[in-house]
Structure 1
Amino acid sequence: MEVIKYFKYVLLVTIAITFPVLACFFLVFRGLLHFYLKLKHGEDFYGLMDGYDTVWEVHETSRGQITILGTFDFDEEKNGDVYDAFVRQIHQPELRRSCRKAAMRRRHLLGYNYYIEMDPYDGLVQKMPPYEDEEDVRRMLSACSNQPIGPQDDKMLEFLVGTKPIRFAQNGRFEYPIIMKMHHSLGDGIALMNFCITGLGRDPAAFLKKTEEDFRKMFKIKKNDQGNDAARPEDAANEADANAEEASTTPKKGTMQLGKLLRKVMTSKFYHPLFGKPDANLLHGKTLTGRKNLVWSRDMGRDYVRAVKNIKSRFDGVSFNNVLFAALAASFSEYYQKHDPDNVPDYIVNGIVLLPFIPKFEDMVTIVDGKVEALDLSNKFVVAFLKLPLISNGSVEANLLDLVDRVKREIISLSQSLDIALTIFFMKYFAYIMPLPLVKFIMSYFDSTISASNLPGHGRLEMFHGGHINDLYFWIPNIKKIGIGISMFTYDNRLRIGLIADEALIPEVDNVQELVDNVFKYLDVMDKLSQTLVNNNNECTIPNNNINLDGLVCSEKMQKIQINS
């Protein structure tokens, strides 16, 4: 084992030292390849993949595709056959012109992937196979989530349209299902959400503008004096440059700053997949089958988005993501305690979290005369390696609020590291310049128990035919050896959660469903516990000695509420 670790260190140092030379060579080679493909294919050539797209071409037992389930109402007496209506809508020339990348096929040559336009709409919209109820749809989702998109698995997307309404238990309505399969190289969550709005919406330009305004309020993005966004998510990627510039002011200060920067670089969790000890637990380490179980759950009977906001407002420094990931960690803690009580880990050591990047509106979409003229379909997501705490001993409920604090500390530690900047460098530059085999080799060490995504959503979408998409769920693809994926989405201001699990890890679909449902259960418990807080010398306490509250501090707002009560 030590020999292998030593070899990895040598390999990393070798790559780091030779990267400038290799980068120059492969940049020239990439340029020549681009020139050759342009001559060969002419206007049909769309371009070589960038680094963000390339990472989704790296897979083993899972294809790099996002699976989406929507439910919608449709009046066939008014609008005709539902399948024919979708074919006419998706095949509009305006949509093909504004979203040209969606019409591409993926090809590979001499170590690099590229896009080419080849009969893109052939089989793009298909009828869903026969189904009778919601369970049939779930099984169909699980089966098609890892099936090729197109006969040669080279298309960007595919629509499977339901031809009859069925009753969905979680909202009680009779609705038509639609399954959308989109390869992740087409774009990240924000881009694909905008594509769905553009392709299926009644007035996409107005809806996209409203969504952008909602995002600004949600993320508190303001304009500076120059009219530009004052603070943006990509600032994390510039931290190294900022530190280096500050370090150059004085020799003494420069030495201290550069030392601090080097410590951050060398201690980053980015290296953990290469040199750290991998997760060893019930949900990791088995050979994956490629057969998936997909389940979903939504907030029924109460507004969980409001509940999460209420919970976070009761503590200092706790964010929306803190609360969600704490509930997720509690659900996994219960699963481990129930199914492998003697080997419950203290942490999921290296959880991979996909963070949304919110571009400027003018960079996302071009609107001319009230219509979408061009839509940016690209990947700009951010990857972080989160050490997710678990409750290995004792009652999950009794330690739940302490778990909130532990998750908060890990997220703060992540925000103060250079992990995000290093992963951006890897995807933006390394995966862009280097050939796919070398990218695959590095990513073969990206190994964890789970990957997770939390995507801010938009309001209920009015569709082209006048009906609405009433429910919307998505599932991220499993990355390399990771067999568990969690997707959280706030569609129509309601919380939706999807979970995809390889059958080798969780063969029983009821157990997969339990993992999702328990996230909502622990949000309920968290809300109830935090409502009973009584301030005592600025420390949160509950009239129950069995409740662990180490580290949590009530917010000033909560203190006033408690005093007034």
Structure 2
Amino acid sequence: MVTRIPAASQGAHGTHATAAAAARPPRTPGLPPAARKAATAVQKNVRRAATGMLGLSGERMSKVDTAWLRMDSASNLMMINGVWTLAPGITWEALCERVEQRLLQYPRFRQRVLEDAAGATWVEDRHFDLSAHVLRETLPHRKGRSMQRALQDRVGELAVQPLDPRRPLWQMHLVEDFVGEDGQAGSALIVRIHHCIADGIALISVTLSLVDGGAEPPQRKSRAGQNAATAEDWIADALIKPFTGLTVKALDLAGDGAARSFKLLAAPEKAVHHGLSGTADMARVAYQLVSDAAALALMPDDSTTRLKGRPGRAKRVAWCPPIPLDEVKAIGKALNCSVNDVLLSCVAGAIGGYLRSLGDDPTGQEIRAMIPVNLRPMEEAWKLGNRFGLVPLVLPIGVANPIERVYAVRERMNALKGSTQPLLAFAMLAAAGLMIKPAQDALLNLFGRKTTAVMTNVPGPKEALTLCGARVTQCMFWVPQSGDIGLGVSILSYGGGVQFGVITDTTLCPEPQQIIDAFAPEFAQLSLLTLMLPWGE
């Protein structure tokens, strides 16, 4: 829960004053300056961690969002990367004006993150500079390489460049002069947003506020915690005061006092009496951790393929032209399958075909893909944050017959319907957000050991969008992979078409375009075989 204490409501004798007084170093005659300086530093750090721990300054980051914040690794940064192509082109000035009018209405995009011992807090960036977030890009021209390939290479480079932690965790890179594969002159927009800000479904809401005619985001109501004063009094008495002694004895006592205070966080029934609202759910989530982790650990390992292994530190992306959504629906109707069944079957076929093209035999092999499942009503997507679970889907990459493969996918998708696994995965992420990073890594690496890919299927706008007067001709995005997962697959429906995109670690898959090139033939083969099936009267 978020606890806010409006600054205007705190008088000279309010709780902020109480905490400040508790933190003020007492004057101790004869204390060496070095000791006084060290003690003051300790007080400041403890006060920052303590107030941040309960969200008493800024807005406390949720446990799940904290897990995503801490999940960055050298091989996989937790960024959602997206690309829009626009025709005709737009200017950097027009984009900046639109971002200022619309995107910055969401507080998250003006806030930076402050981490502390117990988590993280969203705080306003007092030195916010829009030019540090909306950047101009010029793609390098190389003989024999198209601008599309140059754009793909640049997206791959940016996917491994961390966002500046001193600023809000997002950036847009505008290529003002871009010519796509269709020969149309226009612009390209690369977007990078850290996953701790929002998930893919929530970012659709952000997208719809940016485009021409988009509505401004609803205004979030400020919520003041009912136990705010009590909570800050507790901090002043139990955490800050023990650190105000400037002698060695006082610092020793402070260590015991801090230990007792932090113990309250592990005992919610005691913490409630000290004004710590919202910690009971912490215990409930943690209670599920052992059983959920055990169930995940018992999943059989994936088949060993060249797509699984330890990733390096370079990424590459690729995407295909849109496939008409009506054609996908027609195949699904003829085979009594969902659109998802059809698309995921083609993905499995493309991956299997890619492995065959390299001389591997995927017959009988399967790989597991973690698929996000939305857990919130769409009307609440504007609130941002992460509200999704994960289900493990085993893809039959070794089944060569497209009809047989689509029915195998349908059977596995049906088995997941009504499953509690998305909720359990969400609870595990929440529990991971409570842990120190080494413990969190150990838990989340379970996903990586059992998984080859992360796969997302997001329904985008049905009608074509315009931005600053330019039509959005294509849009694509890629969600991050965690741990040692080196393959990300994205499916996005938009404007009557469906796009398929891949992001790969170059150590495991140097040329993702080869997977993309296998997708359209797989779809065409499935479509042809569907037409050849006997039709009833």
Please report the TM-score for the alignment, with normalisation by the length of structure 2: 0.70
Question: Which residue is equivalent to 2:445?
Answer: 444
CA distance in 2, matches of 1:522, 1:103: 44
Over 3 Å counting, the alpha-carbon distance change for 1:121 and 1:461 in structure 2 is farther
The reply on whether 1:161 has 2:163 as its aligned counterpart is no
1:147 aligned partner, one-letter code: Q
1:351 aligned partner, one-letter code: A
CA displacement at 1:101 relative to structure 2: 0.9
Question: Which residue is equivalent to 1:354?
Answer: 372
Is the Cα contact below 8 Å between 2:303 and 2:365 reproduced in 1?
A: no
SS at match of 1:293: strand
SS at match of 1:205: coil
* 1:494-509 alignment runs, 5 A limit: 494-507=497-510, 509=511
CA displacement at 1:107 relative to structure 2: 2.8
2:507 aligned partner, one-letter code: A
CA displacement at 1:344 relative to structure 2: 4.8
**Displaced runs of 4 or more, over 6 A:** 38-41
CA displacement at 1:63 relative to structure 2: 0.5
CA displacement at 1:353 relative to structure 2: 1.0
Structure 2 residue runs without a partner (length 5+): 1-46, 142-146, 219-287
Structure number with greater Rg is 2
The reply on whether 1:288 has 2:285 as its aligned counterpart is no
Question: Which residue is equivalent to 2:150?
Answer: 136
Question: Which residue is equivalent to 2:531?
Answer: 531
Is the Cα contact below 8 Å between 2:348 and 2:397 reproduced in 1?
A: yes
CA distance in 2, matches of 1:269, 1:525: 40
Question: Which residue is equivalent to 1:88?
Answer: 97
CA distance in 2, matches of 1:39, 1:526: 55
CA distance in 1, matches of 2:179, 2:527: 31
Over 3 Å counting, the alpha-carbon distance change for 1:425 and 1:358 in structure 2 is closer
SS at match of 2:500: strand
Is the Cα contact below 8 Å between 1:337 and 1:344 reproduced in 2?
A: no
CA distance in 2, matches of 1:270, 1:493: 40
CA distance in 1, matches of 2:414, 2:63: 30
The reply on whether 1:312 has 2:332 as its aligned counterpart is yes
* 1:403-442 alignment runs, 5 A limit: 403-428=405-430, 430-442=431-443
Is the Cα contact below 8 Å between 1:34 and 1:48 reproduced in 2?
A: no
CA distance in 2, matches of 1:351, 1:39: 36
Identity of aligned residues (%): 18
Question: Which residue is equivalent to 2:128?
Answer: 120
Is the Cα contact below 8 Å between 2:452 and 2:485 reproduced in 1?
A: yes
Is the Cα contact below 8 Å between 2:318 and 2:502 reproduced in 1?
A: yes
Spell out, residue by residue over 1:482-528, the C-alpha distance to the aligned partner (whole angstroms, 9 max, x if none): 00000000111211111001011112x2xx11212322221111111
Is the Cα contact below 8 Å between 1:475 and 1:486 reproduced in 2?
A: yes
CA distance in 2, matches of 1:488, 1:343: 23
The reply on whether 1:480 has 2:483 as its aligned counterpart is yes
Over 3 Å counting, the alpha-carbon distance change for 1:167 and 1:360 in structure 2 is closer
CA distance in 2, matches of 1:461, 1:413: 35
Is the Cα contact below 8 Å between 1:54 and 1:431 reproduced in 2?
A: yes
Is the Cα contact below 8 Å between 1:299 and 1:520 reproduced in 2?
A: no
1:281 aligned partner, one-letter code: T
CA distance in 1, matches of 2:364, 2:348: 11
CA displacement at 1:201 relative to structure 2: 1.5
Question: Which residue is equivalent to 2:302?
Answer: 279
Over 3 Å counting, the alpha-carbon distance change for 1:75 and 1:275 in structure 2 is closer
SS at match of 2:469: coil
Instruction: Select 1:100's aligned residue among 107, 113, 121.
Output: 107
SS at match of 2:447: coil
Instruction: Select 1:54's aligned residue among 62, 67, 70.
Output: 67
Over 3 Å counting, the alpha-carbon distance change for 1:344 and 1:479 in structure 2 is farther
1:292 aligned partner, one-letter code: K
- 470-479 or 281-290, which moves further after superposition? 281-290
Is the Cα contact below 8 Å between 1:455 and 1:490 reproduced in 2?
A: yes
Question: Which residue is equivalent to 2:271?
Answer: none
Spell out, residue by residue over 1:338-388, the C-alpha distance to the aligned partner (whole angstroms, 9 max, x if none): 32434655211x321123446242x33xxxxxxxxxx31121122111111
CA distance in 2, matches of 1:499, 1:335: 13
Is the Cα contact below 8 Å between 1:124 and 1:157 reproduced in 2?
A: yes
CA distance in 2, matches of 1:437, 1:516: 36
CA distance in 2, matches of 1:421, 1:99: 27
Instruction: Select 2:161's aligned residue among 136, 147, 172.
Output: 147
CA distance in 1, matches of 2:55, 2:433: 22
SS at match of 1:468: strand
Is the Cα contact below 8 Å between 2:478 and 2:490 reproduced in 1?
A: yes
1:312 aligned partner, one-letter code: G
CA distance in 2, matches of 1:459, 1:310: 17
CA displacement at 1:41 relative to structure 2: 7.8
2:133 aligned partner, one-letter code: L
Is the Cα contact below 8 Å between 2:199 and 2:385 reproduced in 1?
A: yes
Is the Cα contact below 8 Å between 2:476 and 2:501 reproduced in 1?
A: yes
SS at match of 2:369: strand
2:201 aligned partner, one-letter code: I
CA displacement at 1:67 relative to structure 2: 0.8
Is the Cα contact below 8 Å between 2:114 and 2:120 reproduced in 1?
A: yes
CA distance in 2, matches of 1:450, 1:441: 19
CA displacement at 1:297 relative to structure 2: 0.7
- Provide the aligned length of Structure 1 versus Structure 2: 413
Is the Cα contact below 8 Å between 1:197 and 1:461 reproduced in 2?
A: no
Structure 1 residue runs without a partner (length 5+): 1-31, 77-81, 209-264, 365-374, 535-561
CA distance in 1, matches of 2:318, 2:83: 11
Spell out, residue by residue over 1:183-229, the C-alpha distance to the aligned partner (whole angstroms, 9 max, x if none): 1111111211221221x312112999xxxxxxxxxxxxxxxxxxxxx
1:274 aligned partner, one-letter code: A
CA displacement at 1:105 relative to structure 2: 1.6
CA distance in 1, matches of 2:462, 2:482: 29
Over 3 Å counting, the alpha-carbon distance change for 1:416 and 1:358 in structure 2 is closer
Is the Cα contact below 8 Å between 2:83 and 2:190 reproduced in 1?
A: yes
1:339 aligned partner, one-letter code: L
2:480 aligned partner, one-letter code: P
SS at match of 1:526: helix
CA displacement at 1:86 relative to structure 2: 1.5
Instruction: Select 1:332's aligned residue among 339, 344, 351.
Output: 351
